[in-house]
Amino acid sequence: MNVLLVDDQEKILEATRKLVNWNKLRVDSVFTANSAAAARKVLADEEIDIMLADIEMPGENGIELQKWVAEEYPSVACIFLTSHADFTYAQKAIHNGAIDYILQPASMATIEESLEKCIRKLEAKQSILHKSSQYDANLANILKNHVFSMFHQKAQFGQLDEWRRDSHTEGEGWWYLPCLLRIWEADSQEVEEMLNLELEKTMLDGSEVFAVASRLNDEEIGILIYGNGMIPERSFMESRIWSVCEGHIGEKNLYMGQCGGEELPQLIGQVMAFKAGRILEKNEVYHVDAAIPYEIRQPDSAVWGRWMLRNDTELIKNQITNLLRFAQKDRYLTVSYMQKLIHAFLESCSIACYEQKHNLTELFTDTFTYEKMLHSYSSVDELSKGVDFCLRRYRELISERADNSSFSVQERIQEILRYLDENMDRMISRREAAKYVFLNEDYFSRMFRRETGMGYKEYIVKQKMDYAGKLLVDTNMPIALVASKVGYDNYTNFTQTFRKATGLTPTDYRKQYHNMPKSEN
């Protein structure tokens, strides 16, 4: 197998030639060309199987080169590696028969995966050409290669036309149902062989329904069920697959996609996207339907931190339990979402421990470490136990400090003053401020005046105008930017408020202080 790399940038050519694991891909020789003209010469002199080409090049571009190659060397497969995400390029590439379209920057693993799929496709074609007399014997492997390729496709470069030809499903009335089998502690190669053998028996039981299973990796088997005419109930096909698995495979999950025709690549994409990273119960069947919009509930470490300071640990525990329950119900319980919960929880613990003059490490022991909590995302039960442990340890740490077990009014007002100072560039309403420290809005106003000697609005204006004055004097920042720094989007409103507070416009205020004589040391 020989590969030709085409790119007008020598550094990219050299990096690709050196960093791709060509031995692993079973590639014999790698040739390079820095222009379309140089590529034509290599193609004329050498037997090239795959061309990995850039699109934007001086003179003749990659699309034009590919069109010429498709006419002169139709057996050469083409993959584009480009930084131009232009859909018209992709359309032309597909029309000319490109195998894949990889957008830069791309990892070597992504490039190698595309080359691997391309090589498998070429090997399947070569198998047909070299062993035409054994076509029927090789057909099963050819179909498995097609299924493998379609389940791994990146941008709907599925070989649907070639599949139809090889599987004899050309014409109208054909439908397809993609499924994914996730297995644990089983040999995926043996499972693939067993499924193809058993499904052939069960699916052909008095119905025009067929199935091909293809091993995708050590844990996943792609299954494509197809037929012509009336589509059986999905539950019927589910029961057939499940009954085959029951006698041979232990722990497993089955993801049943939707039935369709020409939109098969999208249907496969839905199945693969559904299972990606989700933490689901084993030995369950999941029906993958079109995505339903839902609101992903996000954790709030700042709120949790305040609850911990008030010793409302049960409130945190209940909210985390609810977040996990909602995520399971709406099926967005992914590893990344679990990690987000863990990080938010640890951040809230850090906030509370700092305020209580404790170290976060005091929440952990030799048997339950910080690292163990950080990686407790493999199951809901594991995460819940970690949260329980940390909250219990926190309560133990503060049990001897009764004076810290309540969140007094004075502490709440000091907390909101700190919050206002940290968010100077925002207009924080009285309602938001009261909610932030869990007080009734009217009661908050009375307590705020008692603690600060000013009403809430009066304090906000003074705080912002004092800071604006400091920026006007100490910096050369444009006045419009000063206004935004203190939360005013409207320049006119800022100028009027500043003049009312200081007796001067921002411009006059800056001039007055800049013209004042500097004091001598």
pLDDT confidence of residue 293: 44
Taking the alpha carbons of 495, 500, 501, 502 in that order, is the dihedral positive or negative? positive
- Residues ≥6 apart with Cβ < 8 Å to 208: 227, 228, 229
Is-contact 345 320, C-beta < 8 A? yes
- Model confidence pLDDT, tens digit, residues 149-184: 888 764 444 467 778 888 888 878 888 999 999 888
| Number of Cβ atoms within 10 Å of the Cβ of 382 | 16
Q: In the chain, how long is the greatest CA-to-CA distance?
A: 104
The full 3-state SS of 335-404, as one line of letters, equals HHHHHHHHHHHHHHHHHHHHHCCCCHHHHCCCCCCHHHHHCCCCCHHHHHHHHHHHHHHHHHHHCCCHHH
pTM exceeds 0.95: no
pLDDT at 201 over 70: no
- Model confidence pLDDT, tens digit, residues 96-121: 677 788 887 788 888 899 899 888 88
Separation between Cα atoms, residue 57 and residue 63, nearest integer Å? 10
pLDDT confidence of residue 331: 66
Q: State whether residue 60 is helix, strand or coil.
A: coil
Higher pLDDT, 153 or 461: 461
Is-contact 262 274, C-beta < 8 A? no
- Residues ≥6 apart with Cβ < 8 Å to 221: 180, 181, 183, 188, 191, 192, 195, 213, 214, 215
pLDDT confidence of residue 134: 53
| Residue 11 host element (H or E) | helix 10-19
Q: Where residue 301 falls among pLDDT bands split at 50, 70, 90?
A: confident
pLDDT confidence of residue 154: 46
Separation between Cα atoms, residue 15 and residue 52, nearest integer Å? 13
pLDDT at 502 over 90: yes
C-alpha distances out from residue 253 to 211, 219, 250, Å = 18, 11, 10
Is-contact 25 14, C-beta < 8 A? no
pLDDT confidence of residue 514: 72
Q: State whether residue 423 is helix, strand or coil.
A: coil
Separation between Cα atoms, residue 236 and residue 31, nearest integer Å? 52
End-to-end CA distance of the chain: 82
Q: Where residue 137 falls among pLDDT bands split at 50, 70, 90?
A: low
Is-contact 412 439, C-beta < 8 A? yes
The length of the chain, given as a count of residues: 521
Higher pLDDT, 126 or 466: 466
- Model confidence pLDDT, tens digit, residues 341-399: 999 999 999 988 888 888 888 899 989 999 999 998 888 889 999 999 999 988 888 76
pLDDT at 497 over 70: yes
C-alpha distances out from residue 519 to 470, 496, 516, Å = 18, 31, 9
pLDDT confidence of residue 136: 56
Neighbour-count burial of 357, counting CB atoms closer than 10 A to its CB (0-12 exposed, 13-18 middle, 19+ buried): exposed
Question: How high does pLDDT run on average in the chain?
Answer: 83
Per the listing, tokens 């028969």 go with 97
Buried b / exposed e along 170-186 (16+ C-beta atoms within 10 A): eeeebbbbbbbbbbeeb
- Model confidence pLDDT, tens digit, residues 214-258: 998 888 999 998 888 788 777 888 888 888 887 678 888 888 888
Q: Strands 50-53, 2-6: parallel, antiparallel or unpaired by DSSP?
A: parallel
Q: Where residue 520 falls among pLDDT bands split at 50, 70, 90?
A: very low
pLDDT confidence of residue 31: 94
pLDDT confidence of residue 41: 94
Q: How far is CA 386 from the centre of its chain?
A: 25
pLDDT at 406 over 80: no
- Model confidence pLDDT, tens digit, residues 29-76: 999 999 999 999 999 999 999 999 888 888 888 888 888 988 888 889
pLDDT confidence of residue 207: 62
pLDDT confidence of residue 302: 86
pLDDT confidence of residue 384: 92
Q: Region 252-275: what's the mean pLDDT?
A: 83
pLDDT confidence of residue 157: 47
> What whole-number percentage of the chain has pLDDT above 90?
27
Q: Region 408-435: what's the mean pLDDT?
A: 88
> What is the four-CA torsion angle of 335, 338, 343, 346, rounded to 10 degrees?
-140
Separation between Cα atoms, residue 199 and residue 475, nearest integer Å? 76
Q: Where residue 453 falls among pLDDT bands split at 50, 70, 90?
A: very high
